[in-house]
Amino acid sequence: MHEKIRFIYTFPMAKYIKSLSFQLFQQSIMVLNSKNIGLLISLLFIVYSCDTETLIEFEYPVYENKLVVQGFISNKEGAIVTVNKSLPPLTHFSDSVDIAVKGASVQLYADNKPAFFLNEIEQGKFLSPDTFIPKLNIAYYIEASALGYDLVKSSIQYLPSPVSVDSAFVFEEGFFHILKIKYCDPDLNKNFYYYRRHIFYNGDKEAEEYFNSSNNYYPLFHPANVIYDEAFNGNCYSFQDQVYITYWKNDNFSIKADSVMIKLYSLSHDLVAYLESLDEFEFAKDDMWQENPIFIYTNINDGYGILGTYYESDVVLKIK
């Protein structure tokens, strides 16, 4: 089943182009020669082809109100899941739009056996018990429900293979310090990685907030910073990151960094596919020439959203 939507699109520059074309037409007709004949023909084409309004018909699947589930399982955080409801197409989203659902619950399964119900810490947000530590080679999936909605179920997900730092050191280069990191791709499969770091300044929170805020700006992972292993599949890979060792409190007093925490993440295929679709959607949503709609990747059966997994490995490097 599909519904058809019809709307009129107004080309914002059309009226201006018609007005300008008419002025040029008046000027060219006064001095009519072989050169201006070509210009005159072009102007007439512009005048008659620049229609200010265009009727557009677009077909999209009939809207069904479904649950939207966003869940993540990791070795450090356990399971974190949010449950909301979908919105009809062309809805203008704002803080006043209510996406909450009532009576929601989320259950985790491990190797096709019920493990536990997640705890709802606030409306629509669920966390696993503190005792839950996800393990490798275990098949996880979730089921979510809410009053007035069909039960939804994610596809089966595994924690991706961990990756750890092989070597790391800081060296000075001009006015800056460079953090060089080396890690090794564990196998020949297609893997995805992500890097973050956190610099410590002997407990000075002001310095830590100043230098680490941009590195941790995105709450999860930004698709532009995902590392693909095509160039080093099955081999080791090195990269560099500029770090700021000195933080000046004022002209006469500075604080030196004492350590940096390096975080390397392995991301699941479904999680990366979800991030890529979000990035494509953000790029295309304001593009008036976009021909086809962008659909956000989902692995939630009978609903929308994602259950993604990632594995986090940390190492603290002392700075001398």
- pLDDT for 8-27, tens place per residue? 555 445 544 555 555 554 55
The sheet carrying 192-200 orders its strands as: 119-122, 125-127, 78-85, 67-74, 304-318, 259-267, 192-200, 227-228
- 67-160+304-311 and 165-267 share one fold: yes
**Lowest mean pLDDT segment, chosen from 97-101, 205-209, 260-264:** 205-209
Question: What is the arithmetic mean of pLDDT over 256-282?
Answer: 91
Mean pLDDT of the chain: 82
Where in the chain are the domains? 2-61, 67-160+304-311, 165-267
Mean pLDDT score, 210-234: 77
Q: Residue 220's pLDDT band (boundaries 50, 70, 90)? A: confident
Residue 217 has pLDDT above 50, yes or no: no
Higher pLDDT, 189 or 4: 189
The most confident of 5-9, 44-48, 102-106, by mean pLDDT: 102-106
For residue 204, what pLDDT is reported?
A: 80
293: closest CA among 281, 306, 279? 281
Give me the architecture of the 165-267 domain, per CATH. Answer: Sandwich (2.60)
C-beta separation of 141 from 155 below 8 A: yes
Mean pLDDT of 252-265: 88
67-160+304-311 folds as Immunoglobulin-like (2.60.40)
| Residue predicted with more confidence, 188 or 57 | 188
Q: How far apart are CA 213 and CA 22, in angstroms?
A: 55
Residue 73 · residue 81 · CB < 8 Å: no
The predicted pLDDT at position 280 comes to: 85
Q: What is the pLDDT of residue 214?
A: 56
103 phi and psi angles, rounded to 5 deg:
65, 35
